[in-house]
Each structure stands twice: as structure tokens, then as C-alpha cells.
Structure 1
Amino acid sequence: MSLPPGFLDELRTRISLTQVVGRKVVWDSRKSNQAKGDMWAPCPFHQEKTASFHVDDRKGFYYCFGCHAKGDAIGFVKDTENVGFMEAVEILAREAGMPMPARDPEAREKADHRTELTKVTEAALAWFRLQLKTAAGGAARDYLTQRGLDEAALDRFEIGYAPAGQNTAFQAMADKGLPPENIVAADIAREPDDGRAPYDAFRDRIIFPIRDGRGRCIGFGGRAMAADAQAKYLNSRETALFDKGRALYNHGPAREAAGKGQPLIVAEGYMDVIALVRAGFEATVAPLGTAITEDQLRLLWRIADEPVIALDGDTAGLRAAMRLIDLALPLLEAGKSLRFALMPDGQDPDDLLRAKGAVAMRKLVEGAQPMVDLLWRRETDGKDFDSPERRAALDRTLRNAIAKIQDPSLRRHYGEAINDLRWQLFKGNRTMPGRGGFRPKTATAPVAATRASALAAGSLSDADLRAALILTTLCHYPGLIDQFEADLERLAPRNPDQTRLAQHVLHTNARDTDSLNAELDSANLTQTLETLSSLGHVRIAPFLRPDGDAEQAALCLAEEFAKLAARRGIDHELTEALEDLETTEEDSHLSWRLNHAIQTRHRADHPEPPETADQGEDRAAMSAHLRDLIDRRAWEKKKR
């Protein structure tokens, strides 16, 4: 059986050689670098104790430096499973979710045809490059010089020029002895419907060759020189060689650079890629004039786990980022995501590099936002959430978006991140409901004289009481801030005063008490710290006394942060169980989940020895609370 053209390339794109080989070997964690797809293990083909078997996951090949075995995923399955070539392909196709194609007796003929078309495209590229150096290419050379491209850059990116003649390229290829039907099939020329002679596909355009991951020239992109051209950029049409939805500009060189540790950057156009590569960002690619497709996204993830999407800083660029989120969400998996580096308004990467240089671009790439932040921005920018109905609509929209994620663990982490962002948006905007109704943007904090009162202290939740102890401890021991920086970022207290203090502590450079106190005084946060320090459970902490012990303070911080993290996870489980209870009639298993979550949360908040006299009462109280939740859900179902 022969396979249709492109099937094996797509199969190799969809599978990970590391996963295929990983079923047969034990990776050497000391030599392997999973982030770069650089994996080492003892060879499965001969007996050895050292890790001489190397897998390059990005390129899709393995090699043993001991027995010299080498190949790709198909060859590995073929040799280790003792199966034939087609059977190995079928095994991998099942894993990749690709149906095996029907028998195609003409597949070999098609493969040979693709080889012949490659001869045409390579010949055309050589001719286009030559035309750029002629008198006809003078205006194109001037334009490229204005864009900062010297002779070395023109050679590196194989840039050429298609003259303005009607069929100049077609005639040049025919004079080389290439069959006219192949010149048309490779889209160097096109046949008009009226039966006249073929005309050139590219006329008066700067030519950018498009090569696949194996280095074959499969098509071209052309930039019009005429200001009144119908299309500024034009790509080759779909051919037996070229499918623009499955190709990336600068694919091969970017893959090699990413394998050496450079971040993979996805820009919008040819000139952006060229500018970034010349500025040192060699692992840069671009889709071919259209929005990123699913196949291109899979190609990107084969090169790097977290490509950085560097889109233009205009409305169109932002819209493209938002569309990409919807495409990516169902395809996400652990370790595979996207980050977004949005350019300053009105600029593309080439503009930014010209204006501020590579340092500014590197800063943007290193500070690229995770996809969850862009998702949140899309649903909240420019919107007002001053009513329960609007907040509920936001919650529903975000739940529907997150529900597209297939991996349950990843979906849960997205939910937690969204919850953190939600608290940051709403936590400081609450007032008690009363005759004036719900007024989220008119919250009033207690005045300084009453902040330390029992009423103010009583308004703090259990989580805020823990946060009070954490913040007071860090203010007494600023030297511990670096140690707990990551935990502090996730603290998210609901009390607005604590939020301001937490943000200041997180971003301060002070690492001694006097310097930090001076900063807090300048930021009008001294009263907030005094209020927290006056709380009963904070006052009795021994390590907050003048002769306190920093090591004891660090242990306390670790314990409090751990309890808060446990509670967040338990609360998420409780929320999911309640949501499931709304949509199912089978309450027995969900009741157990709810009861278990409530008891676990109670134990996290009120740790006790394993055997206590009140344990039965606690369980009874939890069950009573559970019954109340279930009864309330049942009443809501009937009401709907």
C-alpha cells in the first residue's frame, strides 16, 4: 500500500518521538533536558549501562553513539515491535488519532510528481534571485536597502525579484527544459480560462521563498512594488507541494535555533521575521498571511512548548490574539501553551527594533503574558461589572471558555487562575447589601480610628486572618520576602487594606525593617500594619516580639501559606461539586464529594488531633451543612 503525499509528514508532526521512545527506555534525568526535547537513555537496541541513546524530539530523530542505530518514530516502532513499515505507520496513526488513508495505487506517482515540482520551485528561486541583481530589480533593491537589508541579509534569506513582464518567469523555466505543465502545477505560472498562454503568478514583486521543515522550497510569498496593487502580499496558491495552512516561514532555521535554547517567536509577516532574526531572535517564524491554523499550532508545539506570539500593537493584532485563544484552548495540554508579547500601539516588531533596539524586544519577549491573562483581558476590557447580573454573565462566559480545555488538571488550574483574577477585580469593591442595594464601586473602608476595633476585626474572614499574620510577619522580617515571593503573589487577600499592603511588600526592594517602615509610612500604610499587628492572634505570636526568632517566623509562614493553598484547592473542589449538582439528578456520589470537601476544609481551618471528643459533632455539623446545600439546590431546580 502506498500513502498519499503529506500523510507521513503530518503523522510525524502530530506525534512526539520522546513519548514513543519513552515506552521502551528509562530516561537519564541528569543528561536529559526535556524542555529542549534533548533526551538521553541507555540504548534499547543493545545491552549497555551508560546513556548513549540520544533523542532529538524537535527534529524527530534518534541516534545511538554505541551501536549507531538511527531513525525516526516509524523506524523505532518498526524495529522495537518487530513489525513492517505499514504496520508501524498504523500503530502511530492510531495513537495520533489519524485514520489510515484508503489504498491509493497512484501514491507513488504523486510522490514522484512532488519531486518534479520541487525541481521547478528551486529553479524558479535561483532565477528570481538573479533578477534582483539586474537593472529591472533596481527599485526592489532600493526598497530593501531602505528597510535595512544588506547583501548578506539578501543572501541569507534568499530574497529575489519577479519582473513585471507578463510571462517572463514562465518562459525562463521553459527555456531550462522544465515541462510547462509542471511550471503551472508549481504555481510559477497560471493558465487563464480563455485558453491563452500561461501568465506569471508573480509580477513586479519582491520574492520570499518558503521552505518546509526539511528545507525544500515549496512556494513563494511576493510583496508588491506597485502602490496600487490589489494585494500587498501574495502567496503561492495551494499546490501538491504547498499548503499555506500547514507551513511556516523560516521553519527549519527556527527549529534549529529553538533547539539551542532560544525562545520561539511567532511574528505576523516576512519582514518581521527577517528583522527579528537579524536582531538575534533566530527562532522566529510566521504564518503565511493568514490567522494561525490548528496544523500550524501543532507545528509550533513540536518546536517549543510555549511559543511567544508577537503580534502587532494595533486593533487587528489584538483581535488575532483573541481568535488564537479560541483555537488553542481545546488543544492545550500540560506543558503546551502560548504566551503573548503585544507590541506597543501602532508598532510591529520591525518598528520596535528600529525605534528601541533588541533590548526592548527582548524585554517584551521575556515578559510575555500567559494565555489565561489574555483570556481574562478579552472578557473584561472596557466592561463594567456593577451588578450581580453582569458578574454572573462574566462567570458564565469564562466557564464556557475554560470548559473547552480537554485536560481536567489543566482545566482546574485555569479555573484557579481565573478565580485569582476575579478576586483582584472585585475584592475591594464590596459593600454590605442594604437599602441602597448592591453598590460594587462605592465601598468605604473603616476610618483610621475604628480599624482596630472589634467590629473591623470581626469583618475579616479566616483567610484574611491568616493573611494578617503573614503580612505582619513579613514586615517584621523583610529578609524572608524573597523566600516566600511566589506564595505572596498568590495571597490575594479580600480585605482592600491588606491587598495594598501585600502589593507593596511584594514589590519592595527593602530588606531591612527600618527601610521598609519608611516606605510604608510614605505609602500611608503604617496604620494598616498597626491595625493588623493589634489583632489578637497576631499579638500573641512569639516571633513578633523584639527578641523573636527569624527561623520560627519562616516556619510559621510556610505553614500559613500551605494552609491557604490547601483551602483554595478544597474550595475549588467544593465549587465544582456544587456546579455538577446543578446539572445531574444523581446526588449520591456528589453528596459524598461535597461532604468530603466540607470536612476537609474544616480540618484545614481547625486542625485537631486524630482522636477528639468533638469529632462526631464536627461530622454531624458538616452533614447538616451538606443537607442544607443539597436542599437549596433541589429548591433551585424546582424553581427553574
Structure 2
Amino acid sequence: MAGKIPRSFIDDLLARTDIIDLIDGKVGLKKAGKDYQACCPFHNEKSPSFTVSQDKQFYHCFGCGAHGNAISFMMDYEKLDFVDAIEELASMLHMEVPRENTHGQSNKPQVSAEQKRSDYDLMMQTSQFYEHQLKRHDNSNAVIEYLKGRGLSGQTVKKFMIGYAPSEWDGLCKHLGQTVAQKKQLVDLKLASEKTPGRQFDFFRDRLMFPIRDKRGRVIAFGGRILQGDNGPKYLNSPETRIFHKGFELYGLYEAKQAFKKLKQIMVVEGYMDVVALSEQGIEYAVAALGTATTSEHMQTLFRTTDKVICCYDGDRAGKDAAWRALENALPYLNNGKSLQFVFLPDGEDPDSLVQKEGKDLFEQRLEHASDFTKVLFERLSLDIDIATDAGKAKLMSLALPLIEKVPSDFYQENLLEKLARLIGRTREQLNQKLNNPRQQQSVQSKFKMTPMRIAIGLLLQHPNLANTIPYSPELIELNLPGLALFKNLQALCLKHPQINTGQILELHRDTPEFKALSRLAGWQHQIAEEQLAIYFQNTFKFIEDQCLNHRLETLLIKDKTQGLNKEERLEYSLLTQALKGA
């Protein structure tokens, strides 16, 4: 894997990106006073509540609460992860994303943007070669008859770019491996193998080929299905390469996103042919893991893309095991509004065979009766446990509570605790006390009260130019007033970078504990007239400063009564008393 993207590059990228141009090109914005507006792209609404500020380089929806900078928008709108969003923005500006050598990677070669472009180009050429072979190879009639026998139309074959890897040992190598560098690249990308130095042969031979595309539609790997006989495994998948990491990719996700403006749900199935057969029948929202279990990264990607995930597996033991792994990996991403359900098919059936027997409508009726994840969770945990006994109840509680703790949704967590309580004869309150981080005890903290400190931080975050309207007093940080260190650090940042904007400040804090609070403050509507901002900010800071002085005065007073003060402390006490009287 490549090293980290330098912070300086991210800062420069945001400085060069105009969030108005970016969002206007995808959503369509209209001028509304100083800012721009549109109907929110993240939820359905009739009147616009989505506002974009050019000064702050920040967007905020007053309807659903979506907010962020240009990088956040790319992540949420295009359903990209952080690195992909950076690369996409960089490509729009014709910038190359640099990488740092991080600890433990100093001896690993870094992949340049030029090398990646060449790799993606070679993968696309390979896909086109396989597509051509499907039509022109001597075996093409047999392969096409096989596809027809599986119920696939030419339109679906074209949509998924399905091709054929010729039976010859070196068909691809002869076509694309003309130079030493090209031959090496074929081997590096696992399109060819080289057991004898200088002699390459095709990795995929006599197989139906399924190109695997990433979130941006680039071919990054292949899955190859054997056509007949027992000549090798039924499916052969590309090994991992510098551009392909199977635990992060889902077959069919790109095609599903192309079929819908917004994916209301995604169905997870087990095989390439399942995805293609479902699409043939008009069910165009299926994806599959790539010869591996559904990973945590898969689940994160799925819930970034949609609010509802349905896992559709065979009803046998292997299918139940696959469902359990998916459920465990999904728990940390089950926020409010996210839904995880499971469908188990009859014995001997898979989505491919069943949808061809039943058709679209009957198959989708099965999805309407899918089991909620809570039912699947307790059914699995209760296997081989006699919950009629105290030992069985204790065992179930010990298994369930660590899993419930992983769920971020308050609603789901309360629901799971309620069900567990009924099963073992306890109250939800009793179980809640056994959680390491009971959210019910934190509900009061979830209310975001605008204290003077938060007001000061929010104003400074939204209007960085206010930093030079008050004195910079780093010594105040030593007084340990909650939020003061963050406030002074923000002020120092704004003074050092006079042109910094809200979006850039947020990006600098993306991986910090303060990011969530700062994001909320960035979207706070303070209703203060622009001409009054500086005075209001100065008065708020004066109040905070007085709080600091009072805190220090109280500390000295307590010490005077318990231990006594030295000469310097008595002088400080006298000066503080005079200062506060003068205030």
C-alpha cells in the first residue's frame, strides 16, 4: 500500500478547489444572497435547505444535517472513501497525489500516478481483449451458447463487460506483452505468470471472464469461471496487486450505482453469476464479495452507499456462517436510519437459479419478508445454549453484551438490550449497567448547548479573520478551562494562515476527537449581523478571559487557606483582584 498523503498537499488541494464550482457541476446551485442554495442531494425535499458558502468553502443542509468541505462532499455524494475522494479532486485539477514514506514502509517502492494510470489502462485493454475473444475466438460459439443457457442476454453481457479468456497458453501475453516492460507489467498485475525467467503464460485460460471495477468504474481485477469439466477450480480470482485489494471491493457496485441515482437498498450475494443473473431479471442492486467473506470494509462501503443492506445467502450451514460474519462486521456501522436484513434461500437454490425460476416479482417478495439483524443475532447466539437454565442465561448475556456495545445507534442498542432482557429475565436497566459505555447514561451529554466557549470557537471557525481582533494569550491554556486549548490553537492557526477558510480548518481536524463538535459548530446559525461580529466575538472572549482569571483567583484563595502563598503568588493574587474589580 502507498504511504500517507502529505497534509500540505491536502491543504493545497482544498485551497485550489472551489466548492461552489464542484457542487454546482453535480447538483446545480442558485445564488441566495451571499451564499448558494439547492435542494439537498442527500435527502428528498421540495424546497431548498442545502446551503453552500463560498467564503467558508463549506456546505450545510438544515433539513438532514449533512455538512462538510469539498472532500466530504465527494465522499458522501460519490460514495468514495477518503483517499479516493482526494484522488478524484486531484484529477479534476490535473494534480498528482504524492505519498509520504511512513514508518515500516521506507523500503517499499511507491506507486506513481503515472504507473497507476498505465496499470488501469492495461487492465481496460485486457478487458477489451477478453470481450473481443468472446465474439471472435474459435470457441466463441460454445461460450455464447453457454451464456444463453444461463439465461443471459447480449445487453447484460455488454453491461458487465463479460468476456472470454482464450484456451491458448499465451493469447493475452502475445497480444499485450510486446516489450519487456509490458511483459513485466502483465506479471505484476497477475494477468500472466512466469515460472521460467523470460517465458510468460496467461493467468486466465479458457474461462468466462468477469471484469471487476472499482467505485470509479476502472477495471482493477478479474474473476474467471470455468466453462466445463474439472480443469481447475470453478472460480479463479485475481490475486491482490498494487491496484487491487479484494477486502475493499465489491463486484457489481459500480454497475448498481450507474443504474440508480440513489440506491435505496443493496443486496449482498455470494457470486458473480448471481449478480449478473439478478440484473438480467431487472434486479440491479446486487453486489458480491470477491471470493472472500464480507469484510468490515465492505460493510462500511455499503452503508456509505445506501441505508438498507439485505444479505441474501444459501440456507445451508455455509450460508449461515457467511451471514454471521457479515453481521459481526456490520455492527459498528449500524447508525440510526441504517437497516441490515437477511434472506436465506431454500436448500439447493442460489439467487441465480431461484430468480430464473420465480422471476423478479416473486424473488423481491422474499426480500420484503427478510429477517431483521436482531433476530438473526439472537438465533445464532442461542444455538447450543439452554436459556431455560441460569448457566445458559449467563452464557447468552456474556456473548451478547460485547456485540451490543459495538452498535452506535442508541435506538438499536436499546432494542437489543430489551430483547436480551426478555430472554434472560432481566430488566434493560440492569443490562445497561453492565455495558462498558452505556449510551443511555450519556443522553444528557448529547444535547449541544451553546456555551460561551462554544460560541467563541464557532465564530472563530466560521470567520477565521476574527482571530486578530483579540490578543493572543497562550498562557491562558495553563488554566485548564474546558475548550480553551482548542480555542487558542484555532486562533494560532488562523493567525499563522490569514487566508484559511472553514473547510480547510475542518480538514486539519478530520481525525481528531474534536472533529464532530467542530463540524456541528461550522453549521451553527449564529444570527449575528456581520457588522456586529467583531464586537460580539470580543465580548465573548472577554467573558471567557474573566472566567479564567476567576478560576485562577479561586485556586490561589484555596491554596492561601490551606498551604499559604509565596511572594510571587501573593503579587499575582493582588493583581488578579484589581483586574477583576476593574472589569
What is the number of residues matched between the two proteins?
398
Report the CA distance shift for 1:412/1:362 in structure 2 as closer, same or farther (over 3 A): same
Give runs of aligned pairs for residues 116-127 of structure 1, distance below 5 A.
116-127=118-129
Normalising by the residue count of structure 2, what TM-score does the alignment of the two structures yield? Answer: 0.58
1:531-554 Cα distance to aligned partner (Å, 9 max, x none): xxxxxxxxxxxxxxxxxxxxxxxx
CA apart distance, 1:354: 1.5
Following superposition, the deviation at residue 262 of structure 1 comes to 3.8
Q: Per-residue deviation at 1:233?
A: 0.5
2:162 matched to which residue of 1?
159
**Greater radius of gyration (CA):** 1
- 1:129 paired residue number: 131
Note if 1:400 corresponds to 2:402: yes
- The 1:387–1:314 alpha-carbon spacing in structure 2 relative to 1, beyond 3 Å, is same
**Cα-Cα RMSD:** 4.7
- The one-letter code sitting in structure 1 at the alignment partner of 2:164 is Y
CA contact (8 A) 2:53 2:59 kept: no
Instruction: State the one-letter code of the partner of 1:163.
Output: P
Partner of 2:176 in structure 1?
A: 173
Q: Please list the CA deviations of residues 491-541 of structure 1 after superposition, one character each: whole Å capped at 9, or x if unmatched.
A: xxxxxxxxxxxxxxxxxxxxxxxxxxxxxxxxxxxxxxxxxxxxxxxxxxx
How high is the TM-score relative to the length of structure 1?
Answer: 0.53
Q: 1:269 to 1:41 in 2, by over 3 A?
A: same
- Structure 1 residue 197 displacement after superposition: 0.7
CA-CA distance at 1:256 after TM superposition:
3.8
Partner of 2:193: 190
**Is 2:265 the counterpart of 1:263?**
yes
Note the residue ranges of structure 2 that are not aligned, 5 or more in a row: 11-18, 24-33, 79-83, 442-583
Task: Verify the 8 A CA contact 2:274 2:352 in the aligned structure 1.
Answer: yes
Distance, in Å, in 2 between the alignment partners of 1:253 and 1:407 is 30
Shift in alpha-carbon separation, 1:6–1:139, aligned structure 2, 3 A: farther
Q: Distance in 1 between matches of 2:215 and 2:154?
A: 25
Q: Residues 119-168 of structure 1: CA distance to partner in whole angstroms, max 9, x if unpaired? A: 21111111111111222233322211110112222212111111121112
1:351-409 Cα offsets, whole Å, 9 max, x none, are 22112111122112222222111101112356544433223322332223323435666
Contact (CA 8 Å) 1:245, 1:296: kept in 2 or not? yes
Alignment check: 8 A CA contact 2:271 2:289 kept: yes
The amino acid across from 1:156 in the alignment is: K
State the match for 1:43 in structure 2: 52
Task: Kindly state the Cα deviation for residue 410 of structure 1 after the two structures are TM-superposed.
Answer: 4.3
Question: 1:147 aligns to what?
Answer: 150
Does the residue aligned with 2:168 lie in a helix, a strand or coil? Answer: coil
Contact 2:336/2:410 (8 A) holds in 1: no
**Aligned-residue offset at 1:107:** 7.8
Q: Which runs of 5+ in 1 are unaligned?
A: 10-16, 64-71, 79-83, 91-98, 427-567, 584-588, 590-640
Asked if the contact 2:87/2:97 (under 8 Å) is kept, the reply is no
**Counterpart-to-counterpart distance in 2, 1:367 and 1:221:** 32
CA distance in 1, matches of 2:404, 2:184: 50
Partner of 2:205: 203
Instruction: Answer yes or no: is the 8 Å Cα contact 2:39–2:50 preserved in 1.
Output: no
SS of 1:392 mapped into structure 2: helix
Q: How does 1:247-286 map to 2 (within 5 A)?
A: 247-257=249-259, 259-286=261-288
TM-aligned CA distance change 1:262 to 1:329, over 3 Å: closer
**Alpha-carbon distance, 1:59 to partner:** 5.9
Q: Give the whole-Å Cα distance in 1 for the aligned partners of 2:49 and 2:288.
A: 31
Q: Give the counterpart letter for 1:43 in structure 2.
A: V
Give 2:428's aligned residue: 572
Choose the corresponding residue for 1:241, options 223, 240, 243: 243
State the SS of the aligned residue for 1:210.
strand
Indicate conservation of the 8 Å contact 1:314/1:347, yes or no: no
Q: What is the deviation of 1:35? A: 8.0
SS in 1 for 2:222: strand
SS at match of 1:357: helix
In structure 2, distance between residues paired with 1:321 and 1:173: 41
Contact 2:294 2:325 in 1 (8 A): no
Cα 1:409–1:263 shift into 2, 3 Å: closer
**Pairing 1:214–2:229 present:** no
Q: How far apart, CA to CA, are the structure 1 residues paired with 2:107 and 2:321?
A: 45
Instruction: Sort the Cα spacing of 1:352 and 1:142 in 2 relative to 1 into closer, same or farther, 3 A.
Output: same
Give the Cα separation in 2 of the matches to 1:212 and 1:370. 29
Is the alpha carbon distance of 1:334 and 1:170 closer, same or farther for their aligned partners in structure 2, counting shifts above 3 Å? same
Partners of 1:282 and 1:275 in 2: CA distance? 10
Aligned 8 A contact 1:33 1:39 in 2: no
Rounded Cα–Cα distance in structure 1 between residues aligned with 2:290 and 2:269? 10
Moved more, 53-62 or 351-360: 53-62
Seq. identity, %: 29
Distance 1:346 1:241, change over 3 A: same
Distance 1:248 1:325 in 2: 17
Superposition pairs of residues 325-404 of structure 1, within 5 angstroms: 325-381=327-383, 384-404=386-406
